[in-house]
Amino acid sequence: MTTTYPPSDELKSKAHVDAAKYDEMYARSISDPEGFWGDVAERIDWIKKPTKIKNTSFAPGNISIKWFEDGSLNVAANCIDRHLATRGDQTAIIWEPDDPEEAAQYITYKELHGSVSRMANVLKSLGVERGDRVIIYLPMIPEAAYAMLACARIGAIHSIVFAGFSPDALAARVQGCDAKVVITADEAPRGGRKTPLKTNADKALLHCDEDVKCLVVKRTGGQTTWVDGRDFDYNAMAAEASADCPPAEMNAEDPLFILYTSGSTGQPKGVVHSTGGYLTYAALTHEVTFDYHDGDVYWCTADVGWVTGHSYIVYGPLANGGITLMFEGVPTYPDASRFWQVCEKHKVNQFYTAPTAIRALMGQGEEFVTKCDLSDLRILGTVGEPINPEAWNWYNTVVGKGKCPIVDTWWQTETGGHLMTPLPGAHATKPGAAMKPFFGVQPVVLEPTTGEEIHEFPTEGVLAIKDSWPGQMRTVWGDHERFEKTYFADYKNYYFSGDGCRRDADGDYWITGRVDDVINVSGHRMGTAEVESALVAHEKVAEAAVVGYPHDIKGQGIYCYVTLMNGEEPSDDLRKELRTWVRTEIGPIASPDLIQWAPGLPKTRSGKIMRRILRKIAENDYGALGDTSTLADPSVVDDLIENRMNR
Ligand code: WTA
């Protein structure tokens, strides 16, 4: 029996949405999406109010998603300007630096307006125009938010590259979206160490068009090399720039940003999000899921390099006129108390993090938490990967003292915002369950092979969504066919999430993890194909197959089977070399955990690698390999089991 945790009476009465209201709103969002979302869109300041609300199709050959298509607006004006009259002097962003000795910053809406307008004018002076792409490769500093909003203000499309990505990964993204400008900083402090961002950008730009410009923000003042005519000093230019920059009128369907994410095949794809639908959805989910009320201090610990940072550090909270905390550091620096010290220092009300962070901190002991005053916490959230009940219980009792509902939010880069989550004042929670669909979301469980919808419950299958919601991605940048193929080809007339799920006897949803070749390492999403292509790019590697395996802290670890070129000798030094190689090709987040030398890989007679077998061996579950008789050479399996790395 699963224990359930109902919301307190106090929460039920004060929350934006209680159980009855959820039922009523959900029912309307499905029966009358036009009416429902038309009303929700009232929360946005439109320049031209939309009259056409929903125009979407998941039909094979005609995947087309449009929301509010005749409306126009500006996202930066919605996140800043419209709040100036009522809350100009209220803090918009609290910035907490990596080093606790360095002063925090409290940036008011008025100040945000000035900084964003100046950054927008700097971008204009570099020749950035409406529709142009701008790459943002920055630490977690206020300038990252300024840069996003500055692009939005002038109608440029930003694409953030996580500061942990390597120069090669950065170059691929600059080229992938044909960016005009890369915004970076000298160095990124994190956990007491410094990543040389500008040096990385220099290396990346060697592989890019000559006319790509580089705008450099000063963070540490560390030495950087300078290329005249290509590199521009943000701080000097912003000081000179005008603080007046009228927001551009954008159509609701104009792209707001591109964010590269990993899939099961090939290189990362550029997920394109819209202006009107995305903002509406980010704002509503932020308010309802976290039960955000005016004046609350809200903290999402994600990085703006991931979608969570886009929707739930910047766009959602600021559209709601909220106070959003931006943290530059890591949970364990200077010690494992940092998260809780920051909560105490800034009197955080809503705290949103990833299961991997909870698991890492859980292992350090309770004193790190209990010595801090967490009495302002009201809502806790998790995102990014399934949370194991042990971590959930620790989060609930040690951090939340049993008083803070945990919203386990399931969603994806592609979905723009939460698709499933319990709502704090409406639903009892269950450790590890994403529970209920958000308004307008129609989840279905499909039988994996036939694609038939399974109506009864309890049941298990693959998770798909039946109809569009405003925050849905619109296309893959430059490749609409890939969009159709990736999300709509396997199961016709549905958006296929790539996740498996279980629906329990109460009809509540539990996400069981990816059913494709995407792995989730410390909440970072990665395609096994990317790691494989990095490995085979090494001159000593003939072939490689990569799978995930259960990892206590990271959720999943990266397990690599590597076949060396003829004549190459396996050694621990070579393991190290390959590890460093992958880090350089992709970034530290892709660093292999285990590398097994594989004289051969299990293949079918047609040459297809049987990953199911490799997954089982990596999970140390080789007793359940299933049928291996279709393999071209079944004996390779014995060797792989014999030499398995995870015992
Ligand atoms: C996984 C992150 C279980 C899932 C917002 C999904 C989750 C992938 C949860 C998307 C959750 C995200 N429970 N699994 N609450 N949230 N996931 O694009 O496998 O980085 O498909 O977006 O993370 O990862 P992405």
Ordered by where they begin, the domains of the chain are 515-643 (3.30.300.30)
pLDDT given for residue 204 in this prediction: 98
Whether the CB of 516 sits within 6 Å of ligand 1: no
Q: How far apart are CA 369 and CA 376, in angstroms?
A: 14
SS (HEC) of 163-213: CCCCHHHHHHHHHHCCCCEEEEECCEEECCEEECHHHHHHHHHCCCCCCCE
pLDDT given for residue 464 in this prediction: 98
Taking only the tens place, the pLDDT of each residue in 400-431 is 999 999 999 999 999 999 999 999 999 999 99
**3-class secondary-structure state, position 516:** coil
Please name the helix (run of DSSP H) or strand (run of DSSP E) that holds residue 285, with its range, or none.
helix 276-289
SS (HEC) of 583-625: HHHCCHHHCCCEEEECCCCCEECCCCECHHHHHHHHCCCHHHC
User: Whole-angstrom distance between the N-terminal and C-terminal Cα of the chain?
Assistant: 31
Whether the CB of 413 sits within 6 Å of ligand 1: yes
Rounded to an integer, the average pLDDT of 130-156 is 98
| Pocket perturbation via mutation, ligand 1, pick of 310, 429, 499 by most ligand atoms within 8 A of CB | 499
Is 381 annotated in a binding site? The answer is no
pLDDT given for residue 608 in this prediction: 85
pLDDT given for residue 60 in this prediction: 96
Q: What is the pTM of this model?
A: 0.96
Is 261 annotated in a binding site? The answer is no
Going from the Cα of 384 to the center of ligand 1, the distance in angstroms, rounded, reads: 4
Whether the CB of 224 sits within 6 Å of ligand 1: no
pLDDT given for residue 482 in this prediction: 97
Q: How far apart are CA 353 and CA 380, in angstroms?
A: 8
Going from the Cα of 416 to the center of ligand 1, the distance in angstroms, rounded, reads: 12
Q: How far apart are CA 625 and CA 3, in angstroms?
A: 34
Is 376 annotated in a binding site? The answer is no
Whether the CB of 308 sits within 6 Å of ligand 1: yes
Is 522 annotated in a binding site? The answer is yes
pLDDT score of 632 more than 90: no
Taking only the tens place, the pLDDT of each residue in 390-408 is 999 999 999 999 999 999 9
Q: How far apart are CA 19 and CA 193, in angstroms?
A: 47
Whether the bond into 458 is cis, omega within 30 of 0: yes
pLDDT given for residue 604 in this prediction: 86
Rounded to an integer, the average pLDDT of 339-368 is 96
Half-sphere exposure in the Cβ direction for 148 (13 Å, CA): 30
pLDDT given for residue 606 in this prediction: 82
Rounded to an integer, the average pLDDT of 105-123 is 98
Going from the Cα of 356 to the center of ligand 1, the distance in angstroms, rounded, reads: 12
pLDDT given for residue 460 in this prediction: 97
Averaged pLDDT score across all residues of the chain: 96
Q: What residues contact residue 131 under an 8 Å CB cut-off, 6+ apart?
A: 155, 156, 157, 254
Q: How far apart are CA 196 and CA 614, in angstroms?
A: 37
Whether the CB of 511 sits within 6 Å of ligand 1: yes
Rounded to an integer, the average pLDDT of 469-476 is 98
Q: How far apart are CA 244 and CA 446, in angstroms?
A: 52
**What is the percent of the chain with per-residue pLDDT over 70, rounded to a whole number?**
100
